[in-house]
Chains A and B, each alone.
Chain A
């Protein structure tokens, strides 16, 4: 499924909880889909595809937003809690910390939807929990 087809199908999808999705393709060197969950205030989710994986990403914070004295504690906390977070893991891309989930490229739409909704919920919990390590 190419990105446009995927965006169309996702836009028409409605979960049992009543969530629907706003999709927008972002033009650039690689194809990225920006997804927002309707009926659930949250973060923009970016979806991109590689040969083997569909990767859904939420950008959390940058190095500059971290209180320097708290940085090591924050990193340890991220490592300690990562496995507890359902379907999502932490990573860093350049100087941006991200929460992401990766699925097999053959995953069906319902799996991707599950990933997106869970990622969004996880991100809210993560930012609430890690907020003290960040500047206001």
Chain B
């Protein structure tokens, strides 16, 4: 039975990926991408990596999907400016296809022949008592390799700055006021606290079970995006200093804590065992908050981009 499910998922993932690449119109492409993301999430769950499955479903299918649909709306509006570029010739298409095929065959062969190196699973489990948490994935992310996680939290912030750079402005526009369905507004009001609680639960769960900062952040970010769409642009209309504090809290506090313990004679990100559990929870909470803020900011910024003439919340005068 499980073999059937696994084979079905494997075939479905490849099929959806190919269909997505070959889809003739952009909307089809986007929705196939959704379906592909969800299939991948299921595959991760089948592989026993529930944390990755949640992250895949929430970020790749959920958050990216929302951004893509938002972009799609802008595309359909400016359709009149011209349809696509010139298509590559059949010969070059064939050559690229053949090249990709050869690459895939060689890659699969190489992956097939990977000798079993054992990995670090046993070592990570052995050191759990010294890490301050009870779940090996959380121990890897926030203690053994916290330096990588710290830089990755920073990458989310840098992505937002990169978006500011491409958009040519560093402030958020008032969202285009559309008639919002009163029922929708009620549903959003109902959902926001639920999303917040489920996010907090996932965050706390990370101590012992699959879950953690990135998963919680996506749920909180979803809450922020829903509020924005419902006509309460909470994040975008915040005072700039508060907004910056939210965006930098995770990355900054992580580093501050690292510097503090380094001043005490330890290494960067070395936590004393007695406080490690608590410190990791605080660091995770702030990181989740910052990532959620960055995700909301990315959406709010995109959403404001479609209305070029919209007035800013904070004028850019210096």
Task: Please determine whether chains A and B interact with each other in the same assembly.
Answer: no
Q: Which residues of A contact B (CB under 8 A)?
A: none
